[in-house]
Chains A and B, each alone.
Chain A
Amino acid sequence: MRNPLGKTTAGRDSAGMEWRDEGLLIALRPHGEASAIVEIFTLGHGRHAGVVRGGGSRKMAATLQPGTQLAVVWRARLDDHLGAFTVEPLQSRAGLMEDRLALLGLGAVCAMLRLALPERAPAPGLWQPTLGLLAAMEAGAADWPLAYLRWELLLLEETGFGLDLSRCAVTGARDDLAYVSPRSGRAVSRAGAGDWAPRLLPLPVAMLGQGPADRAEVMQGLAITGHFLDRGWQPVLNGRSLPEARTRLVAALARQAGTAEGALG
């Protein structure tokens, strides 16, 4: 059997299920003394959990760090079993450990993917942008917070809560878009907002893909995505707030915005 991404998969037969894919480790917890249960965001199979035998060993510790890109083989007797992963490292993200902000970014990416993606539902549209974001963080690119903001916009879209920033919801105009409606997630122009402007969320031009963004604009953008993520994901969040890892990243970026000025991209 072949999945749409062309990776080989085994059907349900006496040998059980097996597939190979590429993935990003997003969570890990110990399982017994020597093993670990990992959650991997895979290219062709979405967020997928499985046991890594020996995953609790010191030998595997460097490989099983959040953010590590892995070549994985998943095997189980039946498709609905938890199954076991065999993993091989493709790319380590150890370079991020020296950069406090990037490390917070990595934590936020992993936590958001874990929360947002339904298990075993492929999200191929997120794969390349996620790798690109992590690569930008690792390279120390100054504009990665803006890339993170755009990644959150994409995450909203992939989970069915995408914003419509193409035209004004009131006038239909494509120019001078300055606000976002906190209810509909649609852009509103300055003229269309009128007296309602104080009730709308300010829309930074960086979210329209226009020009550079300073840190304050990134913060404005994260306030918008945070609002819609929080609202859209409530059935999953169940009254809780967005992941602590994202809160920490936003707080760190806000502190930076308070102390430093400068173009991010």
Chain B
Amino acid sequence: MTETPRDIEHLIDLMARLPGLGPRSARRAVLLLLKKRGSVMEPLARAMAQVAQSARECTICGNIGAGEICAICADPARETGEICVVEDVADLWAMERGGAFKGRYHVLGGTLSPLDAVGPDELRIPELLTRVQQEGQREVILALNATVDGQTTAHYIAEALEPSGVEVSSLARGVPVGGELDYLDDGTIGAALRARRKL
């Protein structure tokens, strides 16, 4: 077997660290990049270098943007008096894809997890409390995952916000669009039944 040049091996090693890729799939990806050097590899390398230099965490909400303040926080049209609290940037992007929310966000950077020694100070919870107080927000929407850790965090934040008098709500839980009852777990069915609405 011929030896792969050291630089290429290094690139394969780095690619193999990406989610969804292992050593074999990283090798395939690198081969494809080498084959499409002009159309994929070079633009990709340039884009990565640019993003590595410009991307930074928004000092207000924790989103990833191109400057000190992200585009959402800088947009006056999004000053609706509502803050949507999400666990991480991927959740913020998911909310933005839906396009249903027109307010601003706050990214916590995780959830409370006593087992992993993640407490309120390890997350951006103190910043959220300060923000709500200083910005005079009307409503805080807790869009956290429907997991034990996610909901423990939601309850913690709701309690911490109680003295501020701001309205605190959370996302509904129940049957997803396209979901079939037969395939749902009993916890989801129970939650959906408790949150039923009059038609």
Contact = CB atoms under 8 A, between A and B. Distances in A.
Interface of A: 27, 29, 33, 61-63, 65-67, 89, 91-98, 100, 103-104, 106-107, 111, 114, 243-245, 248
Interface stretch (B46-54, B83-91, B185-193): B185-193
Nearest to B151: A97
Interface secondary structure of A, over-half rule: helix
17 contacts: A29-B115, A62-B188, A63-B185, A65-B147, A65-B187, A66-B148, A92-B190, A94-B146, A94-B186, A94-B188, A95-B187, A97-B148, A98-B191, A100-B158, A107-B114, A111-B115, A114-B115
B152 interface: yes
Contact of A107 (B152, B158, B185): B152
A128 B199 CA distance: 42
Contact of B114 (A67, A96, A243): A243
Contacts of A95: 187, 190-191
Contact of B152 (A62, A89, A103): A103
B136 to A, nearest CB: 26
A103 B185 contact: no
Nearest to A111: B114
A244 B119 contact: yes
B28 interface: no
A103 B158 contact: no
Contacts of B114: 107, 111, 243-245, 248
A103 B155 contact: yes
Contacts of A27: 115
A94 to B, nearest CB: 3
B155 A100 contact: yes
Contacts of B155: 100, 103-104
Contacts of B152: 103-104, 107
A33 B19 contact: yes
Nearest to A90: B186
B20 interface: yes
Contacts of A94: 146, 185-188, 190-191
Nearest to A28: B115
A133 to B, nearest CB: 16
B13 interface: no
Most buried by A among B19, B114, B159, B191: B114
A243 B119 CA distance: 12
